[in-house]
A and B are shown apart, each in its own frame.
Chain A
């Protein structure tokens, strides 16, 4: 059977500045990030023949291909469920390139979430039918939906606000090392966390991701071609998507086991295809729209047992030098919330050895997409 294992590599990454407000349009930001990634790889835009993005992206591949001067495009893909699709863009391009459907793939994300509208803001205008079971009762926003799971996790397993603070702090500490991060010069203290305003109790302000304008992109080619590129290749070792049985996006309250979400499904496939396991991961970039997604993901991807995700964060485990350094650029909580794409590029930086919070000799990195919705993940490996 054909294998995707290490058959392709990420050879270019690019990003725009991250800020609450940028003057450029989403389309312009997308083009800037993509051209930066191609320049990083040393590949001409005319050689691009594949694109992958995920939903809630306003700029489509027709516009991007035309603007950057791509050649004939033979593969394009758009993955559903917003932030759950980030890593799947890499997975789809890897599959397309490994099977000869295309040769140079671009995955990207461009958003004006900082200055633009929130996706849930128009709930009063058009209430989608699945929301008939939640929104009339004032469970309105993603923060409310995840807070419900967080409260239950606290009840069942003794997870505490200090555990969630450990997550927020690890991300902030890494952002304080990263000049490109929105929170570069803004240290976080336990007192600030514990006294901040509630967003959806038990979640406070610092349990929530940033709102960011910005864009990122990466370039994927075959492993063979990667040898001739400008940068050290970062191999796509294993990929997976996850849509569990009886799953209901965000409000996963009505399957048999609401606390084992899409991460568990993605993880089973991811590890089955890999040459190594969770204990061999040097650094992880875990989707952090909300702090409780970290303990839930640590359990799902097998870094600890069921219910141990809160306790895992103790003793600086998530910090540099800890058992599993996470979100080394600052993540969605403190670098930028660009629907998780910054986690992909940060994973590449770690395996190139160029992160602002470099894990010494990092050779393996797990990157995950949004937990709580149909999700995806990639394992990256250094040569």
Chain B
């Protein structure tokens, strides 16, 4: 498989807004937490100022088990931004969380948290496959979630 991280062309990093900041702060501590309404308990994603179910502005960040299943996946091919083109055959996946199947996260399936985006063989991807979250810290210091197969 291709060489690991390309030094000269970094991966895109999250442009964080006020609503999303806690997600990334928890990720930096290695925790997957999802915004939940303090009043009615409903989880919501992406984060936003108030609860679409009960309109409360009070929220907390609930810790998830980090287990999920692949909901769908794609293999983007060039033309791509250089950092992604440098990892041919990489995947992007959508994961539905085991704790809350209606909460879905976009991510990458890899062999290990710090492995390249194309580290896993494409034929290992399957809708419904069980995955587990893991975190990696990019060169610029941003920590992002990655996903590994529950049964490697």
Contacts and interface: CB of A to CB of B under 8 A. Distances in A.
B49 interface: no
B106 A251 contact: yes
B76 A138 contact: yes
A96 B121 CA distance: 56
B77 to A, nearest CB: 4
Contact of B74 (A126, A155, A202, A254): A202
Interface in A113-163: 123-124, 126-141, 143-144, 147-149, 151-152, 155
Given A134-B106, A254-B104, A256-B102, A148 B75 contact: no
Nearest to B13: A136
A138 to B, nearest CB: 5
Interface residues of A, number: 40
B12 A148 contact: no
Given A132-B17, A132-B20, A136-B12, A253 B104 contact: yes
A129 B13 CA distance: 11
Contact of B75 (A129, A131, A201, A251): A201
A135 B46 CA distance: 14
A130 B71 CA distance: 20
Interface string A243-263: 000101001011010100000
A328 B114 CA distance: 50
Interface residues of B, number: 37
B74 A200 contact: yes
A199 interface: yes
A137 B76 contact: no
Given A129-B16, A148-B94, A155 B52 contact: no
A246 B75 CA distance: 27
Contacts of B11: 136, 138
A253 B94 contact: yes
Contacts of A151: 72-74, 127
A276 interface: no
Nearest to A124: B81
A276 B64 CA distance: 49
B59 interface: no
B70 to A, nearest CB: 10
B12 A139 contact: no
A197 interface: yes
A281 B28 CA distance: 54
Contacts of B46: 130, 133, 248, 254
Contacts of A131: 15
Among A130, A151, A251, A256: residue with most chain B CB under 10 A: A151
B133 to A, nearest CB: 13
A126 B13 CA distance: 11
B92 A148 contact: yes
Given A200-B76, A246-B52, A140 B17 contact: no
Given A129-B20, A201-B74, A144 B92 contact: yes
B108 A138 contact: yes
A254 B12 contact: no
Most buried by A among B14, B24, B107, B144: B14
Interface string A196-221: 01111111000000000000000000
Interface in B17-42: 17, 20, 24
B117 interface: yes
Nearest to B91: A138
A141 B107 CA distance: 15
Contacts of B81: 123-124, 140
A64 B117 CA distance: 47
Nearest to A251: B106
B98 to A, nearest CB: 16
Interface string A27-59: 000000000000000000000000000000000
A360 to B, nearest CB: 41
Contacts of B75: 198, 200-201
Contact of A197 (B77, B117, B127): B77
A155 B70 CA distance: 12
B15 A128 contact: yes
Given A123-B12, A136-B144, A138-B90, 4 more contacts: A133-B106, A139-B92, A144-B74, A197-B77
Enumerate the 4 nearest inter-chain pairs by beta-carbon distance, A residue then B residue, closest first.
A132-B14, A201-B75, A129-B17, A152-B72
Interface of A: 123-124, 126-141, 143-144, 147-149, 151-152, 155, 197-203, 246, 248, 251, 253-254, 256, 258
